[in-house]
């Protein structure tokens, strides 16, 4: 009876060790799943934050155009079909070629575009004196439809995960694949107040 009792104990001891190993494996799989979930959550949070910042930049330029509507054409710096030139990252625009309106209105338009360029570059977000911005590779485009006197303002930036390619050409080909390019746009219509 003693021999039978000790064999039963050995079997139960072996089963306990297997149960512990299975539990550890299940726990590790669960922790790995949590780590992946946390990483995906962080990416989604960053994408959401960048979209919110892009919308702020979009509204900023819409407000600037509405406030200086007499020379709104000076703000239209981008070819609607090509998406260039643009402001922001790797911009080459210094001042719009526009001689409309009063010199003060034109000067304000140039200053507005310069300020918006600096915002796109992240000049207001600094770390140890360096501009770090809130959008990766931010670019801004403003196009004009002369027939309807509407202005399309677009902000493009690089996302973290590839998605469907946007239709708007602003920043196309600048992000190592258009699946990484994010775009938000708004349209401003200038009414004839004369």
pLDDT digits (tens, 9 = 90+) for 84-119: 999 999 987 767 777 777 888 889 999 999 999 999
Which one-letter DSSP state was computed for residue 176? Answer: S
* Rounded average pLDDT over 63-68: 94
Among 70-74, 151-155, 188-192, where is mean pLDDT lowest? Answer: 188-192
89 lies in which domain range? 2-189
Indicate if the pLDDT at residue 52 is higher than 60: yes
Confidence grade of residue 126 (pLDDT, cut at 50, 70, 90): low
Is 194 a member of any domain? no
Between residues 143 and 128, which one has the greater pLDDT? 143
Is 65 a member of any domain? yes
Q: How far apart are CA 54 and CA 25, in angstroms?
A: 44
Contacts within 8 Å (CB) and 24+ apart, 106-111: 106/71, 106/74, 108/68, 108/71, 109/68, 109/71, 109/74, 109/75, 110/74
* Rounded average pLDDT over 187-192: 86
| pTM (two decimals) | 0.80
What pLDDT, on the 0 to 100 scale, is given for residue 11?
53
Q: How far apart are CA 29 and CA 33, in angstroms?
A: 6
Number of structural domains the chain divides into: 1
Place of tokens 């000049």: 123
Is 99 a member of any domain? yes
Helix or strand or coil: residue 126? strand
Is 119 a member of any domain? yes
Mean pLDDT of the chain: 86
Between residues 141 and 9, which one has the greater pLDDT? 141
Give me the percent of the chain exceeding a pLDDT of 70: 87
What pLDDT, on the 0 to 100 scale, is given for residue 10?
52
What pLDDT, on the 0 to 100 scale, is given for residue 102?
84
Is 88 a member of any domain? yes
């Amino acid at each position: 009876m003693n021999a039978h009792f000790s064999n039963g104990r050995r079997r139960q001891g072996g089963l306990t060790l297997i149960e512990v190993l299975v539990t550890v494996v299940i726990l590790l799989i669960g922790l790995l799943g949590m780590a992946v979930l946390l990483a995906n959550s962080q990416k989604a949070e960053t994408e959401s934050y960048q979209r919110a910042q892009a919308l702020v930049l979009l509204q900023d330029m819409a407000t600037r155009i509405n406030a200086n509507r007499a020379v709104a054409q000076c703000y239209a710096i981008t070819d609607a079909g090509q998406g260039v030139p643009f402001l922001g990252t790797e911009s080459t625009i210094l001042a719009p070629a526009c001689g409309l309106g009063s010199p003060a209105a034109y000067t304000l338009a140039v200053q507005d575009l310069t300020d918006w360029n600096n915002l796109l570059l992240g000049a207001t977000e600094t770390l140890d004196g360096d501009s770090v911005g809130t959008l990766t590779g931010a670019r801004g485009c403003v196009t004009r439809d002369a027939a309807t006197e509407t202005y399309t303002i677009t902000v493009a930036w690089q996302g973290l995960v590839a998605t469907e390619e946007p239709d708007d050409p602003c920043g196309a080909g600048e992000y190592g694949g258009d699946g990484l390019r994010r775009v938000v746009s708004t349209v401003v219509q200038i009414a004839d107040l004369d």
